[in-house]
Amino acid sequence: MAKRTWILLDAEEDQYVDEIRLTSADAGGVAEGVTITKRRLRGGRRDGVDVVEVDNGAFRFTVIPTRGMGLWRAALGQVHLGWQSPVHGPVHPGLVNLQQSDGLGWLTGFDELLARCGLWNNGSPVFNENGTLRWGLHGRIQNTPADKVHVEIDDASGEISVFGVVEEGFLYHHKLRLTTTYQTLPGEPGVRIVDTVTNVSDKPSQMQLLYHVNLGLPLVDAGSKLVAPVAKVAPRAEGEYDKIESWNTYLPESPDADGSCFFTTLLAGVDGWTRTLLHNADGTRGMTLKYNTAQLPCFTQWKNAQPAVDGYVTGLEPATNYPNERTFEESKGRVVAMGPGETRTFELALEAHADASSVAAAKAEVAKLQGSHKPEVLTKPNPEWSAV
């Protein structure tokens, strides 16, 4: 048996497929119920945005090649993963001004379930001494279109893969390449992601990468819980929270709510893998995020309890560093050095839970990682983690 490949985009070879729909019949009938659709969105701020929609017969997800191969949304039955952003995207990158003077232009295109932040910087904006913007919020990669995209189906297993290549860099500066693969099997209740970042320059370089995984209503509601195997947790800044003891519990919508962040290190198995579970208040639906702490040692939880119309959402954010100003992270040794031609690999997975038994099983897996270790909960920001 073989793997069958369909090239959707190769800018260098001047290849582009405007629209295609693949089914199980295109892979020898092995993957029953599978569909893969590539199309281009039209109208409004999404005009010209390409999407690749995958349905493995149980789990559905949408990749956005035009927006750095981000993950727009996903669903398992009635369990919808994503959030109701006040930005009705996906927004074409050409309409996102990353050089906006306040450094927050990235937010004008923020709509995804999974957005990558990086690759040169992934945290707060950094300004020059004269007040001009040096590096904007969360970097450029999420607003950079892919140069290559193809899909693949394995005739033997039915596994579906969506590949993409995104280039970031320019003359006299860094030159980094993101190669990403989304993988899922027929009937699998989620998707696995393997990213590689390569320094394609002949000179040493640096990189940062943060995965901004965003969930909101109706999955996240008042009383929802984040269940994680915590080694240590601390608030990003003073005054961003009511009670540190309730850092992992979600409040109801409130027009007076401000965003808050908690910086964390998580426990992991001997293989380096850890997992977090976000479930609704009654424990009947949820999502597990799995990743490798050897690759992504830092974890940030972002909570935004503003009303739905203003973007009620939480962010689960494994990363190479904490999302402070790049200069602060560099001083703490959390900027990744890369030699000429060097490649780093990053792996994570999303798994949806559609009933109470699945949520309970996921909670038990987290408990195994926590073991007898008592979480260290700091009431003040950790000066090693926080720049504020």
Percent above pLDDT 90 for the chain: 91
Q: Band the pLDDT of 82: cuts 50, 70, 90.
A: very high
Return the CATH number of the domain spanning residue range 3-377. 2.70.98.10
Higher pLDDT, 156 or 248: 248
Which pLDDT tens digit goes with each residue over 90-106?
999 999 999 999 999 99
Which pLDDT tens digit goes with each residue over 187-200?
999 999 999 999 99
Residue 242: per-residue pLDDT: 65
pLDDT at 49 over 70: yes
Instruction: Compute the average pLDDT of residues 275-280.
Output: 98
pLDDT at 122 over 90: yes
Residue 222: per-residue pLDDT: 94
Residue 28: per-residue pLDDT: 66
Residue 33: per-residue pLDDT: 84
Sorted by sequence, the CB contacts under 8 Å of residue 102 that are 6+ apart come out as 125, 133
Q: CA 372, CA 368: separation in Å to the nearest integer?
A: 9
Minimal CA–CA distance to 207: which of 348, 320, 341, 68?
320
Residue 308: per-residue pLDDT: 92
Contact status, residue 364 vs residue 279, Cβ threshold 8 Å: no
Which pLDDT tens digit goes with each residue over 351-369?
999 999 999 999 999 999 9
Contact status, residue 49 vs residue 94, Cβ threshold 8 Å: no
